Amino acid sequence: MTTLSTCLWFDGNADEAVDFYLSVFPNSRMVSSSDYGPDMPLEEGTTLVVNFELDGRAFLALNAGPEYKFTPAISLVINCATQEEVDYFWDRLVDGGAPVQCGWLVDRFGVSWQVVPVQLEELMSGPNRDVVNRVTQAMMKMVKLDIALLEAAAAG
């Protein structure tokens, strides 16, 4: 069976990142890890990879050095059912990181996230272009997304 997972490249802090993500996402766990051995790029005994799951989704954290950095060109999306969920994930992930715009943030490790209420897709995929335009304009003014304000914009 083919599976799909996401590999995240870290500069020596993969263990710290995995511990952080496991503390944020319920139903998550560390699956396995391996260390660098002798004659490898990083010091022997340093974590090489950590396989972990966030809410049942597979990830691999690779401790590989400073050669590559995260960019917003790829982001992880969290679809939230309630404003409480939006607030929960936003507040934890932005701690030590930076808010961006339209529900985007960069966490303390440089990973980009989109914390999005499921209502946004519903509001923006309807047939009424005026509603879609109002919701889009409201969203563009937000940093953390606010369901009540998005729904108010949709209502006109």
Residues 91-149 pLDDT 10s? 999 999 999 999 999 999 999 999 999 999 999 998 999 999 999 999 999 999 999 99
Regarding whether 150 and 83 lie in a shared domain, the answer is yes
Number of domains in the chain: 2
Residue ranges making up the domain that contains 47: 1-68
Regarding whether 121 and 89 lie in a shared domain, the answer is yes
3-state secondary structure of 13: coil
Taking the complete model, does pTM exceed 0.85, yes or no?
yes
DSSP one-letter code for 3: -
Q: Write the CATH number for 10.
A: 3.10.180.10
Domain edge (last residue) among 52, 68, 84: 68
Domain edge (last residue) among 11, 44, 68: 68
Regarding whether 121 and 62 lie in a shared domain, the answer is no
User: Residue 132: which of 103, 104, 153 has the closest Cα?
Assistant: 153
Residues 46-86 pLDDT 10s? 999 999 999 999 999 999 989 999 999 999 999 999 999 99
- CA dihedral defined by 127, 129, 130, 134, rounded to 10 degrees? 100
Q: How far is CA 154 from CA 57, 73, 131, 133, 142, in A?
A: 33, 29, 5, 9, 15
Regarding whether 109 and 87 lie in a shared domain, the answer is yes
Domain edge (last residue) among 30, 46, 68: 68
